Structure 1
């Protein structure tokens, strides 16, 4: 999945000459935490975050105590070394950047123009949706040998039970480099018979770890 599939495009923006108070009002009214700053050509020139607001005006609830700071133009406090992404970047790549740099959003730039914004909330929502975690389902984790025919065999077992796969992930076994962990999210709330079948075929089902009476 690429960035343009999840990025926000109906953006709330300001300019470098707008005031700190205008940014605070926009954040409160729109319930947002990041505001891109652009020029007349729709080119990104900076970024303002909720954290910036708290640093410059910690007592923003009492304007009379912060009149001078609230009147400052945003160019005085905006971040200009902004990390950006492109609409055709992969979501997992920008998620890694946001994690490593500890940032909450990435402006999306195409042909020098601001075309979108992706926040950590967008990433989390996408993860929930693509895994099917927000749908009625069950999750099964299976430890397998790193073999090309294993996946085909397991899918065949699920097919025998007329079970639809909502999502699937494969990641390395941290305890043994020769193994993989396959995580299936399947369209049933009762996976007991499937787990029994998998165990009968010799698979190591890590989750759910069914009670002995159900094995």
Structure 2
């Protein structure tokens, strides 16, 4: 699963000369929370609602709403944007995007192909990817096979047993459970009993 499979290619961008008030309007109109800042085709920064919020005058100041709005219309994105932006290649695996977000405690990565920004991936995109991979929302149930002694060919063996009995798998995930592995099979609801029966008969532990 590459980043390109789940990134958003609908890019809403700002330029360094974009005013903060215009950036706020762009985010509101497009129901987003951040904008890559491009100077031509070159990524030079990132502006987010959080950055703007921190840059606004404190409510404890004596500035009026009119004065605050005037500041926003005169201040450019370049003066407050984050200039050290983490990016990720479109060809990178989704796991790498998750790792970078966790390492840098961020929720968004502009996606590049060579030096050009071609998309953006957010933590919401990654959650959507997980739901897609796990088959969430599709009809069926999850059958869990616990493998305490992992060995090459386990997944092939499970697939072979099910195929011999004309039983199919909709999606498959492998997760860690302490020292064991749990293979989660998303299967049709009406196949739950026969899947459990044939896998148990073949020596697998179905939980």
Under TM normalisation by the shorter chain, which class is it?
A: 0.7 to 0.9
**Cα offset, 1:106, TM superposition:** 0.6
Aligned counterparts, 1:46-195, within 5 A: 46-57=45-56, 63-64=65-66, 66-71=68-73, 72-144=75-147, 145-174=149-178, 176=179, 179-188=180-189, 191-195=192-196
- Paired with 1:197 and 1:128, the residues of 2 have a C-alpha distance of 28
2:19, 2:77 within 8 Å by CA — same for their partners in 1? yes
**Cα offset, 1:158, TM superposition:** 2.3
Question: How many residues are aligned here?
Answer: 201
For 1:98-131, what per-residue CA distance to the aligned partner results, in whole angstroms no more than 9, with x for missing partners?
1222211111123322221111121111221122
1:137, 1:187 within 8 Å by CA — same for their partners in 2? yes
SS at match of 2:35: strand
Which 5+ residue runs of structure 1 have no aligned equivalent?
A: 207-215
- Structure 1's 152 and 114: CA in aligned 2 closer, same or farther, altered over 3 A? closer
Range with bigger deviation, 47-56 or 162-171:
162-171
1:143, 1:204 within 8 Å by CA — same for their partners in 2? yes
Corresponding position of 2:198:
197
Give TM-score scaled by structure 2 length. Answer: 0.85
- Paired with 1:127 and 1:189, the residues of 2 have a C-alpha distance of 25
- Paired with 2:123 and 2:203, the residues of 1 have a C-alpha distance of 40
**Cα offset, 1:190, TM superposition:** 5.4
2:144, 2:183 within 8 Å by CA — same for their partners in 1? yes
**Cα offset, 1:28, TM superposition:** 0.7
SS at match of 1:153: helix
- Paired with 2:86 and 2:140, the residues of 1 have a C-alpha distance of 37
**What is the root-mean-square deviation in Å for CA atoms of aligned residues?**
2.4
SS at match of 2:170: strand
**Cα offset, 1:159, TM superposition:** 2.3
SS at match of 2:184: strand
